[in-house]
């Protein structure tokens, strides 16, 4: 097994929590949060409102990425409406080693990120081509699926990849790249994408020979939620 190359563990530090009521500390999983990452790929699943995005953005911030999405180079630009993780300050992160590169894809704020790149292009003091790592042109000139693919192909080659609400990619002429349940596995297998995309209606199987785990945010009968670890189905 490959194991988790970067993030190893997340746990809540109770003395950093002002109160376990209200958002985000009132999310039921927070009180007993203690997660170990033993695989290269982890899926976080759960109902709407269970706290998936809240936990994911805390992980992204701990990896050095802006909570609104992007890589380390965008961390100081505050291109989205959120500057800091609401939950991150109450958590302790343990790393096997800190990632030097990576990307946080957050579908909700992808338009903000595309506008940031356009602003850099128009800035006479900005050196270099802001589109060079995103397919060579503005993400606003692409469909949502095409923009996501440009990010996948150009920014997810190494380091940590964090995704919040990624979508299936659709292309003209009904050519489709399907990532099954989630594109996280495909991000891990990025080197196979150029070959796969050269074929029509390619299907990339998620999880084949992949070291992975699933974290579930589930609703209990009593109305609370729990966090459990299991194998993806």
Q: Environment class of residue 3 by beta-carbon count within 10 Å: exposed (0-12), middle (13-18) or buried (19+)?
A: exposed
Q: C-alpha angle with apex 75: 71 to 76, nearest 5 degrees? A: 145
Mean pLDDT over the full length of the chain: 72
In a domain, 194, yes or no: yes
In a domain, 1, yes or no: no
The pLDDT tens digits of the residues spanning 130-154 come to 888 778 888 888 877 777 777 777 7
pLDDT in the model for residue 80: 55
pLDDT in the model for residue 178: 40
Q: Is the pLDDT at 9 greater than 70, yes or no?
A: yes
The answer to whether 225 and 50 have CB atoms below 8 angstroms apart is: yes
- For 196, the enclosing helix (H) or strand (E) is helix 193-197
In whole angstroms, what is the distance from residue 204 CA to residue 208 CA?
9
Place of tokens 């759960």: 46
Q: Is the pLDDT at 225 greater than 90, yes or no?
A: no
In a domain, 162, yes or no: yes
In whole angstroms, what is the distance from residue 57 CA to residue 67 CA?
5
pLDDT in the model for residue 126: 85
Give the pLDDT band of residue 89 (cuts 50, 70, 90): very high
Q: Please, what is the angle between helix 144-155 and helix 110-122, to 10°?
A: 70
In a domain, 217, yes or no: yes
Nearest to 84 by CA among 75, 71, 93: 75
Nearest to 190 by CA among 177, 200, 181, 173: 177
Averaged pLDDT, 191-206: 36
Q: Which of these ranges, 61-75, 102-116, 207-221, has the smallest mean pLDDT?
A: 207-221
pLDDT in the model for residue 16: 96
In whole angstroms, what is the distance from residue 48 CA to residue 116 CA?
29
Domain that residue 198 falls in = 7-230
Q: Is the pLDDT at 43 greater than 70, yes or no?
A: yes
In a domain, 11, yes or no: yes
| More confident position, 168 or 196 | 168
Q: pTM (2 decimals)?
A: 0.69
Q: Give, in order, the Cα–Cα distances in Å from 58 to each of 78, 108, 158, 203.
A: 16, 16, 20, 32
Averaged pLDDT, 182-194: 38
In a domain, 2, yes or no: no
Phi, psi dihedrals of residue 114, rounded to the nearest 5°: -60, -40
pLDDT in the model for residue 69: 82
Q: Look at the chain and report how many structural domains it folds into.
A: 1
pLDDT in the model for residue 10: 94
Nearest to 162 by CA among 36, 51, 63: 63
| More confident position, 166 or 9 | 9
Dihedral Cα 40, 41, 46, 50, nearest 10 deg = 60
């Amino acid at each position: 097994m490959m194991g988790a190359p970067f993030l190893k563990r997340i746990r809540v530090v109770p003395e950093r929590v002002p109160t376990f009521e209200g958002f985000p500390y009132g999310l039921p999983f927070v009180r007993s949060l203690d997660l170990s990452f033993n695989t290269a790929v982890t899926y976080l699943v759960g109902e709407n409102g269970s706290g998936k995005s809240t936990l994911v953005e805390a992980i992204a911030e701990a990896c050095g990425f802006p909570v609104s999405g992007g890589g380390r180079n965008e961390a100081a630009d505050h291109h989205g409406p959120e500057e800091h993780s609401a939950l991150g300050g109450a958590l302790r992160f343990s790393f096997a080693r800190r990632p030097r590169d990576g990307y946080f894809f957050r579908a909700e704020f992808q338009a903000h990120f595309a506008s940031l790149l356009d602003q850099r292009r128009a800035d006479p003091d900005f050196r270099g081509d802001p589109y060079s790592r995103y397919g060579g042109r503005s993400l606003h000139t692409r469909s949502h699926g095409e923009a996501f693919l440009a990010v996948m192909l150009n920014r997810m080659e190494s380091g940590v990849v964090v995704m919040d609400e990624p979508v299936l990619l659709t292309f003209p002429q009904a050519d489709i790249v399907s990532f099954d349940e989630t594109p996280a596995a495909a991000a891990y297998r990025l080197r196979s994408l150029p070959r796969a995309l050269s074929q029509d209606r390619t299907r990339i199987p998620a999880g084949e020979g992949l070291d992975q785990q699933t974290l579930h945010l589930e609703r209990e009968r009593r109305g609370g939620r729990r966090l459990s670890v299991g194998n993806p189905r």
